[in-house]
Amino acid sequence: MPGFTLPKNARVPGTKIASLAAAVVAVPLILTGCTDNTKAPDTAGGAIDVVSSNSECKVSATSVPSGNLTFSVKNEGTEVTEFYLLAADGLRILGEVENIGPGLSRNLVVTAPAGTYTTACKPGMEGDGIRAALEVTPSGNQRPADADFQHLLDTATTQYASYVKDQGEQLLTGTEQFAAAFAAGDAATARGLYAATRQHWERIEPVAESFGDLDPQLDAREADLEPGQEWTGWHRAEKDLFPPAGYTALTAAERSAIADRMVADTKDLVERTRTLEISADMLGNGAKELLDEVATGKVTGEEEIWSHTDLWDFQANVDGARIAFENLKPALQQKDAALAASLDEKFAALQAELATHAQGAAFTSYDKLTPEQVQRLASLVDALGEPLSRLTAAVVL
């Protein structure tokens, strides 16, 4: 899986790490989809203990009431193990937890309606594993299974993939126009295109960042550079277009080289997004990460230190997060309607505050904001970011 879920890894050139995090979060999407809306743990006896050794898989219960089940899996073997909860057919995976090193413990939380299930430990991560039956008895507090849940998730990811492609194509068109003006020395036109074009980048930033080589080429800030590193991309152009005092302007040849490189890198990006496979957890995590970007870079004015167009980026990050959320919303409403309603409300509040700084498509320069205005925005970002961080687990787990 590409690093979309984990743009945190993305800035590491040459490494592509499907981290543990992805493994833990990305439980299969074939879920029961049925659950009460409260999300309260309702396993009568608390966690179900599972002890996995090289040859055994001891499950502390053979029968549990339906609802949210927490399996506390301890690896007492010498090999890396994993644990699965399978449907009665022994094929359909309801939940799994992977990569449990020897001596370590890890929790798996799944929602299971009444029925017969199969548990399996897989020491060494090979074969069918050591299996046993688990009976889940009716506890009477759930809705019946919704067979359409997976369809809702599929729809969400399909819609988001289309969104990413569309934004990528608009980014390329805008970048070509920007690059032409920049290379030609038409600074006024380039300045006018700068923030609006970057919005297409910022809307899909976690996707863009997932390509670890392209992100630094296109979006590195001067402070991100290591000694001797070539500086290219948007912020290199930004400094030339919005020069600080004492700055030496680029030559025409230097501008052309940067412009050409931006267009080539963006084409590469768009090409790669066409084959990107998107999963529901990527949407949820991507939305959260976009808000993190706002909290650490945009709300502080660090992203656009010369152009001060941070609020454009801010809006674009929020757009990207909101689209991901809205694509997932029908599924979320089934799993946690209260969270869906809360996110709707928080997105609206943040958007309303942002709108007070907009004039048409344009935004107030960041350096014109008062400290109180920045505080209000930051507070709304936190208010949204906190529930948004629960989106992935709510939909995928």
Partner 1 sequence: MDPAVGERPTAGARLSRRGLFGIAGLGGAAAGLAAGFLGHDAVAASAAPPAADSPVVPFHGDHQAGITTPAQDRLHMAAFDVTTTKRDELIQLLKDWTRAAEALTEGRPAGATGAVDGPYGAPPEDTGEALDLNAGKLTLTFGFGAGLFEKDGVPRFGLDGRRPEALIDLPHFPGDDLDPARSGGDLVVQACADDPQVAVHAIRNLARIGFGKVRVRWSQLGFGRTSSTTRAQQTPRNLFGFKDGTNNLKVEDDQLLDQHVWATAGRPEDAWLAGGSYLVARRIRMHIETWDRTSLGEQEGLIGRTKGTGAPLSGGEEFTEPDFTRQGKGGKPLIPLDSHMRMAHPSQNSGVRMLRRGYNYTDGSDGVGHLDAGLFFIAFVTDPRSHYVPMQMAMAKGDTLAVEYLKHTGSGLFAVPGGVKPGGFIGDGLFA
Residues that bind partner 1 in the complex, under the rule CB under 8 A:
6, 8-9, 11-13, 15, 17-21, 23-25, 75, 80, 82, 98-99, 101-105, 125, 223-227, 229, 288, 292, 295-296, 299-300, 302, 371, 374-375, 377-379, 382, 385-386, 388-389, 392-393
Residue with smaller CB distance to partner 1, 11 or 165: 11
Contact 52, 73 (CB under 8 A): yes
Assess contact for 4 and 276: CB atoms under 8 A: yes
Instruction: Output the smallest distance, CB 62 to partner 1, in A.
Output: 28
Of the pair 47, 393, the CB lying nearest partner 1 is at: 393
Q: Residue 114 CB, nearest distance to partner 1 (Å)? A: 29
Give the residue carrying structure tokens 């809205």: 326
Question: Are 339 and 227 contacting, i.e. CB atoms less than 8 angstroms apart?
Answer: no
DSSP annotation string for 229-249:
----SHHHHHHHHSPPTTPPP
Kindly report the backbone phi and psi dihedral angles of residue 115, in degrees, each rounded to the nearest multiple of 5, phi listed first: 155, -175
The answer to whether 195 and 238 are in contact (CB under 8 A) is no
Report how far residue 96's alpha carbon sits from residue 111's, in angstroms, rounded to the nearest whole number. Answer: 12
Shortest distance, CB of residue 66 to partner 1, whole angstroms?
A: 25
- Rounded-to-integer distance, Cα 326 and Cα 157, Å: 11
DSSP letter string over 144-195? PP-TTHHHHHHHHHHHHHHHHHHHHHHHHHHHHHHHHHHHTT-HHHHHHHHH
Select 159 or 373, whichever has its Cβ closest to partner 1: 373
Which residue number, 21 or 257, has a Cβ lying nearer to partner 1?
Answer: 21
Smallest separation (angstroms) from partner 1 to the CB of 51: 15
H-helix or E-strand containing 256? helix 252-274
User: How many Å apart are CA 307 and CA 234, to the nearest integer?
Assistant: 11
Q: Cβ 391 to partner 1, closest distance in Å? A: 10
Residue 246 or 371: the one with the smaller Cβ distance to partner 1 is 371
Of the pair 81, 111, the CB lying nearest partner 1 is at 81
Q: How far is the CB of 382 from partner 1 (least distance, A)?
A: 6
User: Checking DSSP bridges between strand 362-363 and strand 67-75, what pairing results, if any?
Assistant: unpaired
Q: For residues 6 and 29, which CB has a smaller minimum distance to partner 1 in the complex?
A: 6
Query: Min. distance of Cβ 312 from partner 1 in angstroms?
Result: 19
> Which tokens go with 277?
């496979």
